[in-house]
């Protein structure tokens, strides 16, 4: 699986439609300061479901919409589409290519599309669940978080390695199963009480 293309329109400094195509392997985006390199990684985070404006270096989510410049008006809509190559079947869908898109209007309405069909944020998260991509993972490391990783405690760094090795998702599933088991135990205890009263 790899990031095949990214299309931005009305997103931060990308007022006009801009399309980036990527090949497998290393891709570097270079450009002068303030030219929009970090806005591209913000776009990847955003389209994958990021809800915290601060993680996108903004004060509110509206800050992702092109705010206008001396030469042109602000736009009313931000759109990002990301295409993942899924020929290795890493994502749990039958398609060799998966397109995930997100739109947000200045009114605050936001929508997601998966392969062109309207979807919920939860559907996007579900598709990405086992892939190592998505919000809350470290597939995107910002300049600021790199410093904090370098200065973090050994146990926090261990969590990062566990995430990269795919252990974290099993720990999360284990914790979820334990919570379900605890809920079942209390239901069972209530059922036993009722049976005891009836007998």
> Tokens 């009263």 belong to which residue?
197
Give me the residue label for tokens 């290393």: 26
Between CA 63 and CA 93 the distance in angstroms is 32
Instruction: Decide if 48 contacts 134 (C-beta within 8 A).
Output: yes
Q: At 81, phi and psi to the nearest 5?
A: -125, 130
The DSSP secondary structure of 82-100, one letter per residue, reads EEEE-TT--SSSS-SEEEE
Number of residues that bind ligand ATP (CB under 6 A): 14
Among 19, 67, 161, 183, interactor with ligand ATP by CB under 6 A = 67
Q: Interface with ligand ATP by CB under 6 A: which range of 18-26, 31-39, 81-89, 111-119?
A: 31-39
Piece of 65-73, 105-113, 124-132, 191-199 that binds ligand ATP (CB under 6 A): 65-73
29-33-35-37 Cα dihedral, nearest 10 degrees: 40
Least distance CB 140 / ligand ATP (angstroms): 13
Give the residue with the Cβ less far from ligand ATP, 39 or 99.
39
Any contact of residue 132 with ligand ATP (CB under 6 A)? no
37 near ligand ATP, rule: CB under 6 A: yes
Query: What residues line the site for ligand ATP (CB under 6 A)?
Result: 12-13, 31, 33-39, 63, 65-67
């Amino acid at each position: 699986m790899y990031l095949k293309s990214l299309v931005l329109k009305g997103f931060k400094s990308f007022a006009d439609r801009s399309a980036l195509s990527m090949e497998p392997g290393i891709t570097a985006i270079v450009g002068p300061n303030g030219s929009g390199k970090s806005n591209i990684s913000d776009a990847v985070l955003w389209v994958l479901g990021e809800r915290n404006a601060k993680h996108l270096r903004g004060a509110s989510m509206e800050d992702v919409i092109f705010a206008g410049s001396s030469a042109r008006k602000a736009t009313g809509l931000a759109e990002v589409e990301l295409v993942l190559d899924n020929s290795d079947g890493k994502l749990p869908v039958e398609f060799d290519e998966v397109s995930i898109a997100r739109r947000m209007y200045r009114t605050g309405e936001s929508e997601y599309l998966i392969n062109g069909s309207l979807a919920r944020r939860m559907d996007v998260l579900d598709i990405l669940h086992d892939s190592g991509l998505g919000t809350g993972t470290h597939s995107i490391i910002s300049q600021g978080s790199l410093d904090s990783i370098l200065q973090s405690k050994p146990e926090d760094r261990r969590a990062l390695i566990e995430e990269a090795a795919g252990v974290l998702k099993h720990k999360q599933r284990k914790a979820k199963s334990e919570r379900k088991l605890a809920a079942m135990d209390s239901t069972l205890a209530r059922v036993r009480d009722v049976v005891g009263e009836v007998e």
